[in-house]
Amino acid sequence: MSKKALPIVSAPTMVATLPVSGIKVKYRPFVIKEQKALLLAQESNDPDTVVQTIKSVLDTCSHGTLDFTSVPTADLAYFFIQLRIASVGPEVKFSIPCEKCGHDNPIAMSLEDVKIDASNVKRDVRITDTVGIKFRLPTVDDALEADTETESIKLLYNLIECIYDEDTVYKKEDYTEEEFVDWIESLNDQQAEKIKEFVDSVPELTHTLSFNCVECNHHQSRTLEGLHNFFRFGASA
């Protein structure tokens, strides 16, 4: 006797527009087993486990349509927040210790208020009047690699698309990594400083909270930035 399969429970299909790349992603909210995986990852306190779990949940919930090798980290972080809102709701509650007296202050905020400013991304940096570098935005895989990589120059190398001058574009694939790294290391301080214009313009998920301490009334503000800061809101209501 074959028994009937359990009934299929359909999930709503939603669409998010990723603010940095403009990509539209169809997704469904996460289910209990994914919520459990997120909680376990959170408890592991291991950054690699956290990122791998987020990737796997985002992948399943977006029906495998996200290309993790090209979607910027900020977009993934934004998408994760949208998923959390769709699955658990926008409200989060946590506490922040007062910077003056250390008293724990209860904070309630809406994840709907978390923004990404992608208006000033500077992927093209001129390091002299005639020579420039074009960069691509970092992905979570770059972040994973950066964790294990002590030299930030390797990360920088990974992010370069090409170097150019007045009449030539020097594509990365035509040179060895060593040739490019040597070239970066031959820059002087002032020229290397220009690269910071790109680094500083990389968009991140941010939210600034202002509050008065319930104990000493001291006014203060705190800025939450980056995926790791928002991940802790992931699965718990």
Binding mask 81-100 for Zn ion (x = CB under 5 A): -----------------x-x
CA atoms of 112 and 176, how far apart (whole Å): 45
Backbone angles phi, psi at 109, to 5 degrees: -140, 165
The region of 82-90, 102-110, 122-130, 165-173 touching Zn ion under the rule CB under 5 A is 102-110
Is residue 216 a contact point for Zn ion (CB under 5 A)? Answer: yes
- The SS3 of residue 137 is coil
Question: How crowded is residue 197: how many other Cβ atoms within 10 Å of its Cβ?
Answer: 14
The verdict on 214 binding Zn ion (CB under 5 A) reads no
Which residues 153-212 are close enough to bind Zn ion by CB under 5 A? Answer: none
CB of 215 to Zn ion, least distance (A): 5
126 φ, ψ (degrees, to nearest 5): -85, 120
Q: Whole-angstrom Cα distance, residue 92 to residue 224?
A: 13
Nearest distance, CB of residue 91 and Zn ion, angstroms: 24
- Residue 182: which of 161, 206, 207, 153 has the closest Cα? 153
- Judged by CB under 5 A, the residue of 101, 153, 169, 237 near Zn ion is 101
> Is 107 an interacting residue with respect to Zn ion (CB under 5 A)?
no
Q: How far apart are CA 45 and CA 117, in angstroms?
A: 28
The minimum distance between CB 214 and Zn ion, in angstroms, equals: 8
Minimum CB–partner distance for residue 89 and Zn ion (Å): 29
Note the residues at the interface with Zn ion (CB under 5 A).
98, 100-101, 103, 213, 215-216, 218
